[in-house]
Amino acid sequence: MNIRYFPLLLVLTILLLVSSSASAVLDYKDKEIVSADTVIDDDLLIYGDNVDIRGTVLGDVMAFGGSVRISGNVTGDVMAGGGIVTITGIVGDDVRIGAGDVVIEGNVGDDVFVGAGTVEVSEGAYIGGDMVFGSGNVEIRGEVAGNIEGGGGEVILAGPVGGNVELEVGNINILPSARINGTVEYTSPKEVTFPPSTVIQEVIFTRQEPTGILNIPETFSIFIGWFIRFIYLLIIALLVLALLPDHVEAVARNIPDNPLLNMVIGFALVVIAFVGSVVFMVTVIGIPIGLILLFVTLFALYAARLYFGLWLGRLVYKRLGKESKPWMDMVLGVLVLFILTSLPWVGGLIYLLVTFLVIGVIFGTMRGSAKA
């Protein structure tokens, strides 16, 4: 794998969107705890203040909350975000985490991707594939069967590594208990000496002058900003899908109908809304109405993509001949659309066309519902 490191400390901002006193769930309704004797033969999306998965999930898990703990058995992938994410159980496939603090004490069958303030892989933990991280401080005392790639402030390696290690760090410390079967290639402001017999193959050092407080290269900073914007949109999309499933589904179903007409309607509505908000704010009495109208318009311009994302993700799964659930359609569609709208030159045009289209469809859908 040729995945570049990505210091994702600001994934902490996920908490601004997911730590709410009112929990909401799609596949596992009205609960934040999956008890130890529970077996869910399906994929699971769960979020709330304190998520605790103690039982067995025969599928994938998406979990978001102030704290997320997985002490049970998940046979598929895990995607988690929160203030603290702890894995003490067994995950059969990949793990993707964005959090303030991450602790892995259990077994992960394949790759681990982490963006966090601190990351700890405890002694006795096992990662069956590669580990890719971006973090302030990382301590890996457990076993990683594959490669380790990452960037961070300080990295401590104290366990066995089956493959290569490639790091960009402020400081690296390899303890005598470590055993790295491949090469160690690291970029850092200073070169360090490793204990004998800890690195089986060669050590390659590249000196780098500090580029900032966290020594994060500019290219990584650009990626971080992109990643955070995607996380914001994805969380909002999942929340809206959870709270207004019928509305989102209805709008998504109507997207293919009269796209050009809906684009024109959407453009006209946006222009009218902006002009109306200005007109209202010119008068003292109308300022509150103008501000509300402006806020609703700006939010519509931002969130319109989630409706299109649901439709797009469903279309992709259908073309691939695979079954999917609404949240799976949403995640895939939002990701694909976010990539397309991030492209230079054409990305802005795609964004505007999709936004105007969806606003026109929302207007038509609400108008049709009112008539019914």
**pLDDT at residue 2, as a whole number:** 35
User: If we measure between CA atoms, which residue out of 119, 118, 122 comes closest to residue 107?
Assistant: 122
CB contact at 8 A, 114 and 136: no
Dihedral of CA 13/17/23/24: which sign? Answer: negative
CB contact at 8 A, 106 and 144: no
Mean pLDDT of 28-48: 75
Q: Tell me the Cα Rg of the chain.
A: 23
Q: What is d(CA 323, CA 219) in angstroms, rounded to the nearest whole number? A: 37
**pLDDT at residue 17, as a whole number:** 35
Residue with tokens 């439709």: 311
Mean pLDDT of 80-102: 87
Q: What is d(CA 223, CA 7) in angstroms, rounded to the nearest whole number? A: 9
User: If we measure between CA atoms, which residue out of 82, 108, 107 comes closest to residue 97?
Assistant: 82
**pLDDT at residue 211, as a whole number:** 52
- Quickly state the pLDDT bin for 225 (edges 50, 70, 90): low
321: left (phi over 0), alpha (psi -120 to 50) or beta: left
CB contact at 8 A, 317 and 324: yes
Question: How many angstroms separate the Cα of 179 from the Cα of each of 159, 165, 196, 218?
Answer: 6, 11, 10, 32
Q: What is d(CA 127, CA 238) in angstroms, rounded to the nearest whole number? A: 29
Q: Which residue ranges make up each domain of the chain?
A: 9-216, 244-371
**pLDDT at residue 239, as a whole number:** 82
- Quickly state the pLDDT bin for 32 (edges 50, 70, 90): low
**pLDDT at residue 27, as a whole number:** 43
Q: What is the mean pLDDT of the chain?
A: 81
Q: What is the pTM of this model?
A: 0.58
Residue 283, pLDDT > 90, answer: no
Look at 193 and 232; give whichever has higher pLDDT.
193
- Quickly state the pLDDT bin for 340 (edges 50, 70, 90): confident
Kind and range of the H or E run holding 77: none
**pLDDT at residue 240, as a whole number:** 83
User: Torsions phi, psi of 202, nearest 5?
Assistant: -80, 160
**pLDDT at residue 33, as a whole number:** 75
Q: State in words which class domain 9-216 has.
A: mainly beta
CB contact at 8 A, 48 and 24: yes
Residue with tokens 């103008």: 290
Q: What is d(CA 143, CA 115) in angstroms, rounded to the nearest whole number? A: 19
- Quickly state the pLDDT bin for 193 (edges 50, 70, 90): confident
Q: Which two tokens stand for residue 93?
A: 């496939």
Kind and range of the H or E run holding 199: none
Mean pLDDT of 208-217: 53
